[in-house]
Structure 1
Amino acid sequence: MKPTSPVPSIAPRPGLSDFFQGLGLLARAFGLIFRTRKLFLLSALCAAVTLVTLVVLGVLLWRYTPGLIGRFFTRPEAWYGQAAWYLVLVLTFLILFFVGANTVPPLLLAPLQDPLSEATEEQCGGAPPSQPFSLGAFLRGLVTGLAHTLARLFLLLLGLALLFPLNFIPGIGSIIWTVLGSLWSMMWIAGEHLAAPMTRHLYPFSEVRRMLRERRALCLGLGAGVYLLLWVPVLNTFFLPVAVVAGTLLYRGLLAAGQLPPPPSASRTAA
């Protein structure tokens, strides 16, 4: 019996079910990882590094965030002032943890993200990488991965910074900022992990932006799933490999549905 292809079947037009299909890419990615030895070994290595990183990050933020908040806002004596101070403390901790979790592990694991994506494409019927390992290519990939991660991190922080003045609206400002900041972060996550395979196939970033714009609900579903996964203990150690695999599956699904033109890398190889 021929195994079912892991490539998702994506409708040619946006629909109400797109968000849930994007969310379901995480379950599809988990299943593919546990069925594929190569993906499982790479994911286990990523999970081990991510676990140590998240624990260290959480401990450091737990220790130093109160001092950071205290530099700007002295803890009031009144109970209602203290309640507001602790609310700011918790929100700041969560934001810093989210930013750190989406920055430090990807920086440390940048050399493994392309192999994960390539192994996923092999399971989707793509050709395995034709070039053998070389130290020069490895170092170039490492530098490029770090540079791209830092550039995308700047985009994330820029969006959050532009939304930050909403906190000064009395009453509901912080709530609005948290909601919009979370939605921005979800779309950023989707763009981050959809861009990885597309960049490897030499698509311009304008194509990534087009997919984020035209298939907004689909991408938001993927981003929301990864965003929520980050806060689930134990499972959050797998958030990076699952996000990489899910982003690659989304790319292959969009390609199979005709939403993307053939990859420029294929035409260059043929030439």
Structure 2
Amino acid sequence: MRDIGAGFGYLLQGQKWVFGHGRWFGFGLLPGLVTFVLYAGAFVGLFYGADDLTAWATPFADDWGSPWQGLLRGTLTFLVFGLGLFLAVITFTAVTLLIGQPFYESLSEAVDRAEGGEAPESGRPLWQELWVSARDSLRVLVRVALYGVLLFAAGFIPVVGQTVVPALGFCVSGFFLTEELTAVALQRRDVDFKERLGLLRGRRTLALGFGVPLTLFFLVPFIAVLLMPGAVAGATLMARDLVGETSADEDEDEDGNGGSGESRPGTGAGGHPVQPQPNPYQQANPYQQQQPYRQPGPYSS
């Protein structure tokens, strides 16, 4: 339960960070606005075409009498909208991050510099960053689509389909939404897709505490656009936690007066400073060497 609260706390901290740095808030709004216009057009098309789609998919019901034909097709239309909304929440983030890759990279680096004084860089050119982001987003969407089909089918189960299935849908959406957002910071640290899933599986409640509330907020039109900059900032803070990096505030607390004489990271016995160790993310990727997170789980491929 503590991790759930911590995940939600990172979401709030991210929003606080961008509102405290107004230039970055406005900078991060632009990709979301473009994506919002595209998705609004898609939903208008779905609204006008959903009835025709369900009629085309159920030709066997053409001769059914009232109220059974309307009940069947009305239920299917509702499920089509539900599935579309489920996919939109996930794909909105993927598409926005792809469109706004340079924007959100810069925002994430600014958060890293504010918290730790340095921003790890992958060293890849922009075109390669875009390719990696698009490839990983596609891998997420394939997984989400599979879960979406299963949940769509389970939606026909009486009672369970109207209670348990929606809750599971929000959890799936929240987990993968967190993966997409933390990827901005973790890709710069050369943590690949499977390793990112491993990190999040190891802290699943943290991921859900961050992603599920954000998924619920994203259901409100236009809120997703306003929250995206803060979501990227909060996900960067979470990514630092996942890989064990400390923030500037934590470092100040450790180095402040009045503390105990116990040994702390970066100090020797009695608090005497020792030679700092090099940042492993600037030299080698420890996850690819040790691979401690490759454990089977419900989200693994």
Aligned counterpart in structure 2 of residue 147 of structure 1, from 135, 143, 151: 135
Match of 1:117 in 2: 108
Match of 2:208 in 1: 220
Q: Name whichever of 101-110 and 226-235 sits farther off.
A: 101-110
Q: Is the contact between residue 194 and residue 250 of structure 1 (CA under 8 Å) also seen in structure 2?
A: yes
Q: Displacement, 1:107?
A: 3.5
- Corresponding letter in the other structure for 2:199: M
Measured on the aligned residues, the alpha-carbon RMSD in Å equals 3.1
- Name the CA shift for 1:80/1:59 in 2 (closer, same or farther; >3 Å): same
1:159 aligns with 2:147: yes
**If the length of structure 2 is used for normalisation, what is the TM-score?**
0.70
1:256 aligns with 2:259: no
CA deviation vs aligned residue, 1:56-95 (integer Å, no higher than 9, x gap): 2321221222222222235865346534533432332132
- Corresponding letter in the other structure for 1:60: G
Q: Distance in 1 between matches of 2:122 and 2:210?
A: 31
Q: Distance in 2 between matches of 1:128 and 1:204?
A: 18
CA deviation vs aligned residue, 1:167-217 (integer Å, no higher than 9, x gap): 453453354433322221111112222233112201244442333222221
Match of 2:270 in 1: none
1:266 aligns with 2:251: no
Q: Is the contact between residue 111 and residue 145 of structure 1 (CA under 8 Å) also seen in structure 2?
A: no
Q: Is the contact between residue 29 and residue 225 of structure 2 (CA under 8 Å) also seen in structure 1?
A: no
Q: Distance in 2 between matches of 1:199 and 1:141?
A: 8
Q: How does 1:23-34 map to 2 (within 5 A)?
A: 23-34=8-19
Q: Displacement, 1:250?
A: 0.6
Q: How does 1:25-174 map to 2 (within 5 A)?
A: 25-73=10-58, 74=61, 77-79=65-67, 82-103=70-91, 104-128=95-119, 137-170=125-158, 172-173=160-161
> In structure 2, the residue corresponding to 1:218 is in which secondary structure?
helix
Q: Distance in 1 between matches of 2:284 and 2:230?
A: 30
Q: Is the contact between residue 121 and residue 282 of structure 2 (CA under 8 Å) also seen in structure 1?
A: no
- Corresponding letter in the other structure for 1:166: A
Name which structure has the greater RCO, CA cutoff 8 Å, separation 6+: 1
Could you tell me which runs of 5 or more consecutive residues in structure 2 were left unpaired when the two chains were aligned: 247-277, 286-301
- Name the CA shift for 1:37/1:239 in 2 (closer, same or farther; >3 Å): closer
> In structure 1, the residue corresponding to 2:138 is in which secondary structure?
helix
Q: Distance in 1 between matches of 2:42 and 2:89?
A: 8
- Corresponding letter in the other structure for 1:256: E
- Corresponding letter in the other structure for 1:39: W
Structure whose alpha-carbon radius of gyration is higher: 2
- Corresponding letter in the other structure for 1:89: T
**If the length of structure 1 is used for normalisation, what is the TM-score?**
0.77
Q: Displacement, 1:30?
A: 1.3
- Name the CA shift for 1:176/1:145 in 2 (closer, same or farther; >3 Å): same
Q: Distance in 2 between matches of 1:129 and 1:267?
A: 10
- Name the CA shift for 1:88/1:34 in 2 (closer, same or farther; >3 Å): same
- Corresponding letter in the other structure for 2:86: F
Q: Displacement, 1:110?
A: 3.4
Q: Distance in 2 between matches of 1:263 and 1:61?
A: 49
CA deviation vs aligned residue, 1:128-162 (integer Å, no higher than 9, x gap): 57799xxx922222222222211211121122234
CA deviation vs aligned residue, 1:18-64 (integer Å, no higher than 9, x gap): 21221232221111111114422322213322332332232122122
- Corresponding letter in the other structure for 1:141: E
- Name the CA shift for 1:194/1:263 in 2 (closer, same or farther; >3 Å): farther
